[in-house]
């Protein structure tokens, strides 16, 4: 199975900060990567798919980049409502689906 | 509006069985794959199983293969997962999620674009 390693697993940031989360795959997954935001007691929310395509309705401060084995989720200016846990997910159609371990973003 | 509603979560003893259901509305149900994802207490998300729109393609995580069975009834817009031989480590909140896709060039890209609120399964003696 493909392993996804997210870093950092936890970060503390202030409103207005630029935040970057990295997701590394154990083998080449091309652009088959999505990013989700998950808040306690809520359903996960799709942010990005195909590594860099912004889901409809998601604010433009979120962006994704990368391909192959290294991917990045960037929040250009962190807002109060962005404090949550973020997960990457590989969806290579020929392989079992996997999630990264998650990155918890906390208010500094 | 797409809606997914899970039900069936409960407290069950190790070795027991449980059947979860996911009722869908707001989209053409039979044309979309549905997946189950779980989150154990204090842990991250784990993909569990998926079923294609027709029901002809089914996939399981290694951790549940041979114990869980996913199925769907397109006449009732419902997906089920029958969970047998439950273990303490199956304790989690279980979400169902609709799989969307985008096709561009020679490739199609998948993602889980709608999720339910989840149902809690507790396996304990």
Q: Chain B 48-77, CB below 8 Å of chain A: which residues? A: 50, 59, 61-62
List B58's β-bridge partners, or say none: B51
pLDDT of A94 > 80? The answer is no
Q: ∠ CA(B4), CA(B113), CA(B56), 5° rounding?
A: 75
Query: DSSP 3-state assignment of A96?
Result: coil
Where residue A108 falls among pLDDT bands split at 50, 70, 90?
A: confident
Q: Which residue has the tokens 């433009």?
A: A60
pLDDT of A85 > 70? The answer is yes
How many C-beta atoms lie closer than 10 Å to residue A80's C-beta?
7
Chain A CB contacts of B97 under 8 Å are 44
Question: Residue B105: left if φ>0, alpha if ψ -120 to 50, beta else—which one?
Answer: left
Where residue A10 falls among pLDDT bands split at 50, 70, 90?
A: very high
pLDDT of A31 > 70? The answer is yes
How many whole angstroms separate alpha carbon A45 and alpha carbon B61?
22
Decide if A43 and B118 are in contact by the 8 Å CB cutoff.
Answer: yes
Residues in chain B where the model's pLDDT stays below 50 = none
pLDDT of residue B106: 86
pLDDT of residue B117: 96
């Amino acid at each position: 199975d493909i392993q996804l390693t997210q870093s950092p697993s936890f970060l503390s940031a202030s409103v207005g900060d630029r935040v970057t989360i990295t997701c590394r795959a154990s083998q080449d997954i091309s652009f088959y990567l999505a990013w989700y935001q998950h808040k306690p007691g809520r359903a996960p929310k799709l942010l990005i798919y195909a590594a860099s395509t912004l889901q409809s309705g998601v604010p433009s401060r979120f962006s994704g980049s990368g391909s192959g084995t290294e991917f990045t989720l960037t929040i250009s200016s962190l807002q109060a409502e962005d404090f949550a846990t973020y997960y990457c997910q590989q969806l290579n159609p020929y392989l079992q689906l996997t999630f990264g371990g998650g990155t918890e973003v906390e208010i500094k | 509006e797409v809606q997914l509603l899970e039900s069936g979560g409960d407290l069950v003893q190790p070795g027991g069985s449980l059947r979860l259901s996911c009722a869908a509305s707001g989209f053409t149900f039979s044309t979309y794959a549905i997946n189950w994802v779980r989150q154990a207490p204090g842990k991250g998300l784990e993909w569990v199983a998926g079923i294609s729109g027709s029901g002809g393609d089914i996939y399981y995580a290694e951790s549940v293969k041979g114990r869980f069975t996913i199925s769907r009834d397109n006449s009732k817009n419902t997906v089920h997962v029958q969970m047998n031989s439950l273990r303490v480590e199956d304790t989690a909140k279980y979400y169902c999620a609709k799989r969307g896709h985008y096709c561009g060039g020679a490739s199609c890209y998948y993602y889980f674009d709608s999720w339910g609120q989840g149902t809690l399964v507790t396996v304990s003696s």
